[in-house]
Chain A
Amino acid sequence: MTTFSQGLWDSLMQGSPLIYPQILLIIIATLMLWPGDLFFAKGEKHKWAPVAFLTLALSGALIYLGKPGEGFSGMYRVDGLARGFQVIVILSALAAVALSQRTLNALREQTVEYYALILFATAGMLFLCGATDIVSVYFALELMALCFYILVGYFRTQNRGVEAGLKYYLLGAFSSAIFIYGVSLLFMATGGLVTNLAELGQKLPLVIQSNSLLVFGGVLFILVGMCFKVAAAPFHQWSPDVYDGAPTPITAFMATAPKAAALAAFLRIFGTAFHGLMDQWSLPLQFVAAASMILGNVAAIRQQSMKRMLAYSSIAHVGYMLMGVLAADTVLGTQAVWLYALVYLFMNTGAFAIVIHIQKGGQGERIDDFRGLGHKRPGLAFAMLVFMFSMAGIPPLAGFFTKFYLFNIAVQNGLTGLVVIAVLTSAVSAFYYLWVIRQMYFHEGGAEVEAPGTATTMIVTMACAVTLLATFFGLDLLKWAGSIGWL
Chain B
Amino acid sequence: MSAFANSSTLLLATFLPLIGALVLLLVPQENTKAFKQGALLAMTLSFIVSLAFWFGYDRSSDAVQWTLSKDWMPSLGIKFSVGMDGISLLLWLLTTFLGPIATLCSFEAIEEREKEYYIWLLVLQTSMLGVFIAQDMFLFYIFWEVMLVPMYFLIGIWGGPQKLYAAIKLFLYTLAGSLLMLVAILAIYFLQHKSTGHYDFSIAGFQAMAPVIAAQGKTFGLLLASAFFLAFAIKVPMFPFHTWLPDAHVQAPTAGSVILAGVLLKMGTYGFVRFLLPIFPDATKTLMPWMLALAIIGIIYGALVAMVQADMKKLVAYSSVSHLGMCMLGLFALNPYGIKGALFQMINHGISTPGLFLAVAVVYDRRHTRMIADYGGLMKTMPVYATVFIIMTLSSIGLPGLNGFIGELFSLWGAFQAFPWLGAVATVAIVLGATYMLWMVQRVLFGEISEANTKMPDMSRRELATFIPLIAAAVWIGLYPQPFFRVMEAPVAKLMVQVNPAYGQGPALEQARTTPEAAPETAPEGGRR
Please list the residues of chain A having a beta carbon within 8 angstroms of any beta carbon in chain B.
389, 394-396, 400, 404-405, 407-408, 411-412, 416, 419-420, 423-424, 426-427, 430-431, 434, 438, 441-442, 471, 474-475, 478, 482
Contacts and interface: CB of A to CB of B under 8 A. Distances in A.
Which among B76, B78, B167, B183 has the highest number of chain A CB atoms within 10 Å?
B183
Interface stretch (B149-157, B238-246, B316-324, B488-496): B149-157
9 nearest interchain CB pairs?
Answer: A423-B179, A427-B176, A395-B142, A411-B186, A474-B73, A396-B142, A427-B175, A395-B145, A442-B156
A438 B168 contact: yes
Contact of A431 (B157, B172, B190): B172
Nearest to A474: B73
B146 interface: yes
A343 B21 CA distance: 27
B183 A407 contact: yes
A128 B157 CA distance: 48
A424 B181 CA distance: 11
B85 to A, nearest CB: 24
A394 B183 contact: no
Interface in B239-268: none
Given A419-B183, A423-B182, A412 B190 contact: yes
B4 interface: no
Contacts of A394: 145-146, 148-149
A14 to B, nearest CB: 37
B216 interface: no
A478 B74 CA distance: 10
B157 A442 contact: yes
B495 to A, nearest CB: 27
Contacts of B189: 408, 411
A435 B138 CA distance: 27
A426 B179 contact: yes
B430 interface: no
Nearest to B179: A423
Given A408-B189, A434-B171, A441-B153, 20 more contacts: A394-B145, A394-B148, A405-B76, A411-B189, A411-B190, A412-B190, A416-B183, A419-B186, A420-B180, A424-B179, A424-B180, A427-B179, A434-B168, A438-B164, A441-B157, A442-B156, A442-B164, A474-B73, A474-B78, A478-B73
B27 to A, nearest CB: 14
B141 interface: yes
Contacts, number: 80
14 contacts: A395-B146, A396-B142, A396-B146, A412-B190, A416-B183, A416-B187, A424-B179, A427-B179, A430-B171, A438-B167, A441-B156, A441-B157, A475-B72, A478-B75
Contacts of B182: 404, 407, 423
Contacts of B187: 411, 416
Interface in B180-196: 180, 182-183, 186-187, 189-190
Contact of A408 (B74, B145, B167, B186): B186
Contacts of A396: 142, 146
Contact of B168 (A405, A431, A471): A431
B73 A427 contact: no
Contacts of B149: 389, 394
B244 to A, nearest CB: 13
B109 to A, nearest CB: 18
Contacts of A395: 141-142, 145-146
Contacts of B176: 424, 427
A448 B152 CA distance: 26
Interface in B181-240: 182-183, 186-187, 189-190
A431 B183 CA distance: 20
Contacts of A474: 72-73, 76, 78
A420 B183 contact: yes
A478 B171 contact: no
B286 to A, nearest CB: 21
A400 B156 CA distance: 23
Nearest to B74: A475
A289 to B, nearest CB: 16
A411 B78 contact: no
Contacts of A412: 190
B467 to A, nearest CB: 31
Interface in B119-157: 138, 141-142, 145-146, 148-149, 152-153, 156-157
A423 B180 contact: yes
A258 B424 CA distance: 67
Contacts of A441: 153, 156-157
B442 to A, nearest CB: 38
A434 B71 CA distance: 33
A411 B189 CA distance: 10
Contacts of B78: 474
A475 B163 CA distance: 40
Contacts of B153: 441
A475 B183 contact: no
A416 B190 CA distance: 12
A237 B179 CA distance: 29
B29 to A, nearest CB: 9
Nearest to B143: A395
A174 B189 CA distance: 44
A411 B153 CA distance: 33
Contacts of A424: 176, 179-180
B4 to A, nearest CB: 28
Nearest to B138: A404
B455 to A, nearest CB: 33
Contacts of B148: 394
Nearest to A412: B190
A438 B175 contact: no
